[in-house]
A and B are shown apart, each in its own frame.
Chain A
Amino acid sequence: MDFSDSPEEAAFRAKAREWLDANATLRDGSEKVQDHFMARDADEVARARDWQARKAEAGWAGLTWPRAFGGRGATPIEQVIWNQEEGRYAVPPNAFLIGIGLVGPTVMIHGTEDQKTAILPRALTGENIWCQLFSEPAAGSDLAGIRTRARRDGNDWVISGQKVWTSGAHYSSHGILLARTDPSVPKHKGMTMFLVDMSDPAIETRPIRQISGGASFNEVFIDDLRVPDSARLGGESEGWKVALTTLMNERFSISVGRASGGARAEELIDLAARVERNGRPAIEDGEARARIADFIARQRGLEFTSYRVMTSLSRGEAPGEEGSIGKLLLGKLRQEMGAFGMELAGTAAGVSTAAGDDTARWRNEYLTAPGNRVAGGSDEIQRTIIGERILGLPPEIRVDKNVPFSEL
């Protein structure tokens, strides 16, 4: 057990720092409050693309991708080290998490040689931006219930339906789309995965505004979108298998992301030292102290949990049981910390007096946290997964499991 950098890791960190110093400026705390989880507008997308291209050229993009696909062949821990270091600099928001973290690894496993050649290099440099067209109005937690249909027409497929909660669809050039191709079989069996061009006029994207005020995700309407069979990723009716690869990589990306970044519970110490509660500094108030101490303990636990996941991955093991708890606990912790940060303002709780002040920051934390509790599998689904896959409890009764989709 060793928490410090190994000599190789220290060398990697030094190299990363050297490059970042030469190519970016350190954060100075004046950065805007982020009420969105990815790039916000065309200007941010352009800056993000430029930054990604520079990283790709210098070999800092797609760190964990194999060298054969243009990556660096780095370990998951090196990815965390990079994220820690990059997080210290004022760099544009990342618009490429889905392309590099989810789509790339899925294409590497299930794609044809042509698909690999066409997709991977452009995802790496940021030339193409990818979104994940999975969830639908009637299929979120129960993803296998999707209704978007793809019908064969000669050598083409014609796709129609609606997707929702699609992060970044409004600025993405491409999408990975799960569609139903055979409704005559049970729901998990009749799906196929496609790679689509978001600029096709048959696709209409409408941003959805979140409770935080930002608009990171979208509804996507697909009306008779025609794609060639070469746009199919993986076998016909093997869409669920392909989707599981994508989802597994999504969890990995979330784990890596969590190890680096987000509001720190210690920031509440600074805030509590600056405001009063019941006539004295809030940091001297017993209840405030208890809450802050517990937040710090939980946040440290989550941070170290992601290091445990990284250790398993770096040893070439599947992420162990510990990986499943991070996502379950993070959203709720952020929500509680946000609420407490607002409460520290007393009768002014939630009232921001200047853009980017403490209240604005914690309010934003509070209003974005519900997204963490739902996206990528809701808290409820995570508990069911832990209960069934880890603890071996009897599965939920699934009345639709063996029934043809068309008869549901």
Chain B
Amino acid sequence: MNFGFSEEQDTIRETLARMLGDHATLEVAHNRLDSGEGFDTATWSALAEGGWLGLAMSEEEGGSGMGAVELAILAEEIGRCLAAVPFIPVLCMAVPALQSAGTDDQRKSLLPGIAEGRTIIATALAEGGGLAPDTVSAKVTRDRLSGQKTPVTFGAEATHALVAATDEEGTPRLYLADLSASGVTTRALDPVDRTRPAAEIVFDNTPVELLPGSDPAAIKRLLDGAAVLAAFEQIGLAERVLALTTAYARERHAFGRPIGGFQAVKHRLADMFAKIELARSNAFFGAWALASGDNRLPEAAAVARLTALDAVQFATEESIQLHGGVGFTWAANPHLFLRRGWQLKAELGPTAIWRERLLGHLADAPRTAS
């Protein structure tokens, strides 16, 4: 058993942290929030130039052949700096979907573009407040897709979409849609975090291509993997918010001393730390399960997501509280993290969905079987 990172992995983290720190600063995040500019193309290009977008692709596919643990490191560093990039949809959903369920032709035509940062594949799995494969009303008939998907993160910025729709037999499958094709109408929405743009996409008889290996179980597996990696992005975010709140508590004086010296503040920060570390432990197990193909992935993903959601919500809300009146202002940093935290929560579904996934796996399936 070895539950830590290797030296090479630590080096990867340092390199990424430096590179992302140069591009995605909190000042950039504030400017983007003010201007409503979404996608941070400069950071995405920098990631492409550094070869990071091909991290988990094989060398044949145009990548560097690393795995889930390295992706997790990238996720955490992206979360830490609030980079406004489509990491989860493109690298954690589309790439593994193509790798596990796509055809050779699909992989050949799309993966190199992804690695170079040209091809952005949004994930259109949500509709009606639910998530595929449980909630799917979009339909494909004779390779033509009709239906509405919302919200689709980076939907207006993407070149393609990975869409969940039912096939002619009513089974939820995954399809690739070129968003420049006919019958695609995209409308920008107003997300809680404007630096992570969301759109509604209406497909009307749009030509699509099936990912032949996709079925409901495959969709669930993809979501599990994405949830593990998203947990790392959430942990990076929560850890940064803890760091900046701790720094504030050390500087801000009241009653003649730094407020971080008062137990009401100190203990709250300790609780943030504890929730973050608990989430990290679960995320580690998730990363291992994902990397090794262990059959406990569904359970690992659910517990990683549940504890990460809890850590983010607690850390971001209490960060605003501990900043006092300043924390309630637009110009201060804490709400940037609160907003991103909500967006990350929405994209793969909130607590209620993952509690059910966990119990469905641990309680209901064994009961039905017996």
Contact = CB atoms under 8 A, between A and B. Distances in A.
A1 B246 CA distance: 30
Question: Which range contains the number of B residues in contact with the other chain?
Answer: 35 or more
A384 B261 contact: no
A304 B292 CA distance: 17
A382 B269 CA distance: 12
Given A304-B282, A328-B274, A269 B287 contact: no
A292 B1 contact: no
Contacts of B2: 1-2, 6, 311, 314
Given A1-B287, A304-B3, 8 more contacts: A6-B1, A293-B356, A294-B306, A304-B281, A321-B273, A325-B277, A393-B250, A394-B257
Contacts of B69: 1
B362 A296 contact: yes
Interface in A321-361: 321-322, 325, 328-329
B270 A391 contact: yes
A401 interface: no
A297 B285 CA distance: 12
B363 A269 contact: yes
Given A386-B270, A394-B257, A296 B281 contact: no
B266 A393 contact: yes
Given A1-B4, A296-B362, A312-B4, A322 B288 contact: no
A248 interface: no
Interface residues of A, number: 54
Interface string A295-313: 0111011111101101110
B234 to A, nearest CB: 14
Interface in B260-284: 260-261, 263, 265-267, 269-271, 273-274, 277-282, 284
Contact of A394 (B250, B274, B287, B288): B250
A6 B3 CA distance: 12
A141 to B, nearest CB: 13
Nearest to B5: A1
A322 B4 CA distance: 12
B359 A293 contact: yes
A2 to B, nearest CB: 5
20 contacts: A1-B2, A1-B4, A1-B288, A6-B1, A272-B363, A273-B363, A273-B367, A289-B359, A296-B303, A300-B299, A301-B282, A305-B281, A314-B2, A315-B4, A329-B278, A383-B263, A387-B266, A387-B267, A391-B269, A393-B261
A322 B277 contact: yes
Interface of chain B, helix or strand or loop or mixed? helix
Contact of A391 (B1, B273, B306): B273
Interface in A388-406: 388, 390-397
B282 A4 contact: no
Nearest to B249: A393
- Most central of A293, A312, A388 by chain B CB within 10 Å: A293
A205 B356 CA distance: 52
Q: 5 nearest interchain CB pairs? A: A293-B355, A387-B266, A394-B261, A304-B281, A301-B278
Nearest to A308: B3
